[in-house]
Structure 1
Amino acid sequence: MLYGSWTSARPHFSVTWHKNDSGVMVSAGEERRELAQDGALWILPALQGDSGTYVCTVRNASFCEEMSVELRVLENTEASLPFISYPQILTLSTSDSLVCPELSDFTRNKTDLKIQWYKDSVLLDQDNEKFLSVKGTPRLLIRDVSAEDVGYYSCGITFVHKDTRYNITRNIELRVNKKEEETIPVIVSPHQTILASLGSRLTIPCKVFLGSGTQATTLLWWTANDTSIEIAYEEGRVTEGQRQEYSENNENYIEVPLIFDPVIREDLNTEFKCEVVNSLGFQTLQTTVKEASTFSCEIALAPLLLVFLVVGEIWIHKWWKHRARKARGLIMFKTDCDSV
């Protein structure tokens, strides 16, 4: 079935289809294998010769627009499976379900949906403890997913059109992912006190250690006076930076920075908290912003003061040494005079 993008948006327009290498139009109500209906082109059944480019034309008295769709019909063989299968992913050691896709056009107003499921072309027993076709839904429940469940599945229903029965089949490629394990999150930074100058831009990273645990299921955020940052600072002066997930020495971390642009005096009286949670634990760490202007001035003056002290000490040492030499010189002169 092929769709035009105007299927329901413009109900007062006429829709026609034709194959690009043919001038024959397909419209609703024609007794053909191709049928235009509700903006879609139905091909019942599809054959390899139907491959090609199809053009959909939408028009009324003052408007005309066209779009093209490329159709490729493959043989129903094992070699075609990678090209015609819908990939679906389940997690190891869990119970989850496959979904038979793209059936809505064939199952409208149906309350007794019956789907046949196959794995590697073998019909699955409906009473199997491993697989269960969920009645009235397009789902196949797989209990305790394992690596052996990987492979190609097919699902099918029957569809009746103008007293003719058609088989509708979908193929699914099942892939499985390793179950991700969680660990208790541990906040390793920031410090409880952060020094900053008023009017400056400040970034405080909140870094969380997860060891070998997964990062995907761990949530990390900041609050100000127990209020989310987005609500506390609607004007955007203080924001959460982009979440980062990374590994160091084969151990996992996540990090979310808190960004002040700029720091103002109000921030000095605000309780900022970094909070992290997953299914195994919750932790919070409070940090406070302190003004660093006075402290910074003292730190800046300290080297200069030390230089003055050293220079002063050297100068005093030389001055005393000079006086001592002068005093010794006078004493020897007087002794020489007395001896004459």
Structure 2
Amino acid sequence: MDLSLVLVSFVFFFRLCGKCRGSEEENCTDHKLQFEWVFSVPGDVAMLRSTLVSSDVFDFKTVPYNITWYNSVSGQEISSQAGHILVHEDTLWFLKVTMNDSGDYVTILRTPSHCYRQACRLVVEERLPGECGMPRKAEQLLTKGVTDNLSCPLRNEMNKLNSYNISSSIKWYRGCDPIEDGTGGYEYWGTRLKIISVELQHKGTYTCTLTFTLGGIKGSVSESIKAEVKESYSLVPQVHEPSNDVIKAQRGYNFSKRCLVFVPGVGKPSAYLYWLDKDGFIETNTSHRVHMLEQRLLPQDGSSKGAWLETWLIFSELKEEDFYINYTCRAYSDRGFPEAYFSLQPADSNIIVVIGSVLGGVMVVLIITFIVYYISKINGVL
């Protein structure tokens, strides 16, 4: 046999085996094991998703690519299996998870000039005897005394199903009991569960279950939430001072302005006050000519449910550059960033205008008096 033909056949066979063995024979950039693992229970649907299709990895919008999934133990390529596995580009679906499906799964993303490797981990656990929901639970906080909500952690699955134009529905449970939309102070709110007027008894375990049909199989995937109720809370801050007004002040003198904010809530207020000008944040360094004081909590009067905060903006000496600028007090909180401002105008400009007007009036009177006197003298009256 011709030696060149043998060599060509050997190279072809080697490359073919390399494709079969996945990343073991390919020199791919290794993105290691994904930080987030996927947890499931037998009978549920589980979705593994590669994150290699990202602008942080390569220019996927212009560079052609393909993705292949592999079993990390056998190295064999994974393909769709009716009723059990569905492979769809960057996503690997287990339609009916079994305990044997636990393990690592590898994606190889290949471009014309390069390849990238990543591993995803699926952990399948038995449900705890006598317990509803998932063995592992996400933790979320509810605020006592206000309307609050829980967020279903299945956003990735919902977004992927939406991209397939596959409809899905969400059902919420508290413990083992289904929650009906619009009853008992609960409302379905998109991917969230709204709870009207949270109380301590709303503490507990909640489960959201997403149901859909994929690959001809009707399945579901669930996530459970351990909800705690906190009694202290802060709502949107209200800026009472300044009030978007114009203040007149004299050059060369000192000047101060208060920022007064009310934070509705219970417990320690969660808000931070800052003064800003056209250049950004004003510092608390008291050696600066223009500075702000540290915020302080004012004594409670007991008449309102909330707390008053204040901070002061200090000008040790007003200069020309301080005028006709908006000075903004902004309250930073996890509920929003309300703000209000004031601006300065020089007060001495009004004095000059008044003095000028008075002098002008006096001059007009003198001129008129002189004209009358002159005309009277000519006519022999005087």
With the length of structure 1 as denominator, give the TM-score of the two structures.
0.57
3-state SS in 1 of match to 2:159: coil
Distance 1:26 1:115 in 2: 30
Distance 2:71 2:312 in 1: 54
Q: Partner residue of 1:121? A: 176
Distance 1:152 1:59 in 2: 43
> How far is 1:195 from its partner?
11
3-state SS in 1 of match to 2:226: strand
Cα 1:215–1:145, aligned 2, differ >3 Å: closer, same or farther?
Answer: closer
Distance 1:246 1:157 in 2: 47
Matched, 1:266 2:317: no
Matched, 1:16 2:68: yes
Cα 1:210–1:38, aligned 2, differ >3 Å: closer, same or farther?
Answer: same
3-state SS in 2 of match to 1:26: coil
Matched, 1:159 2:215: no
Q: Partner residue of 1:304? A: none
Partner amino acid, structure 2, of 1:118 = Y
Q: Is the 8 A contact 1:157 1:167 kept in 2?
A: yes
Q: Which structure has the larger Rg?
A: 1
> What's the RMSD between the two structures over aligned residues?
4.9
Match of 2:91 among 40, 43, 66: 40
Match of 1:144 among 193, 197, 201: 197
Distance 1:181 1:21 in 2: 52
3-state SS in 1 of match to 2:233: coil
3-state SS in 1 of match to 2:146: coil
Q: Is the 8 A contact 2:109 2:117 kept in 1?
A: yes
Q: Partner residue of 1:63? A: 114
Distance 1:169 1:272 in 2: 52
| Greater alpha carbon shift after TM alignment, 49-58 vs 177-186 | 177-186
Q: Is the 8 A contact 1:7 1:38 kept in 2?
A: no
> How far is 1:40 from its partner?
1.2
Unmatched tracts of structure 1, length 5 or more: 197-203, 223-228, 231-235, 290-340
Distance 2:132 2:178 in 1: 20
Distance 1:284 1:106 in 2: 47
3-state SS in 1 of match to 2:124: coil
Distance 1:93 1:139 in 2: 19
> How far is 1:58 from its partner?
0.9
Give 1:184-263 correspondences, 5 Å limit: 215-216=269-270, 220-222=274-276, 229-230=277-278, 236=279, 239-241=281-283, 253=309, 255=311
Distance 2:53 2:339 in 1: 50
Q: Partner residue of 2:78? A: 26
3-state SS in 1 of match to 2:201: helix
Q: Partner residue of 1:177? A: 230
Cα 1:115–1:5, aligned 2, differ >3 Å: closer, same or farther?
Answer: closer
The one-character-per-residue Cα deviations of 1:71-126 (angstroms, maximum 9, x if unpaired) are 32222327897863233333222223333332233355356x53222101112244
Partner amino acid, structure 2, of 1:123 = P
3-state SS in 2 of match to 1:105: helix
Distance 2:151 2:142 in 1: 11
> How far is 1:180 from its partner?
2.9
Q: Is the 8 A contact 1:95 1:141 kept in 2?
A: yes
Distance 2:84 2:315 in 1: 64
Matched, 1:168 2:221: yes
Matched, 1:105 2:160: yes
Distance 2:192 2:323 in 1: 55
Cα 1:58–1:99, aligned 2, differ >3 Å: closer, same or farther?
Answer: same
Q: Partner residue of 1:91? A: 143
Distance 1:51 1:257 in 2: 61
> How far is 1:211 from its partner?
9.6
Q: Is the 8 A contact 1:210 1:252 kept in 2?
A: yes
Partner amino acid, structure 2, of 1:158 = T
- Percent sequence identity is 19
The one-character-per-residue Cα deviations of 1:160-212 (angstroms, maximum 9, x if unpaired) are 2232221222222223333535798788xxxx99999xxxxxxx996768699
Unmatched tracts of structure 2, length 5 or more: 1-46, 55-59, 242-247, 285-291, 301-306, 347-382
Partner amino acid, structure 2, of 1:18 = Y
3-state SS in 1 of match to 2:270: coil
Q: Is the 8 A contact 1:4 1:56 kept in 2?
A: yes
Distance 1:127 1:209 in 2: 36
- How many pairs were matched up? 264
3-state SS in 2 of match to 1:106: helix
Q: Is the 8 A contact 1:241 1:259 kept in 2?
A: no
Partner amino acid, structure 2, of 1:128 = T
> How far is 1:66 from its partner?
0.6
Distance 1:138 1:97 in 2: 10
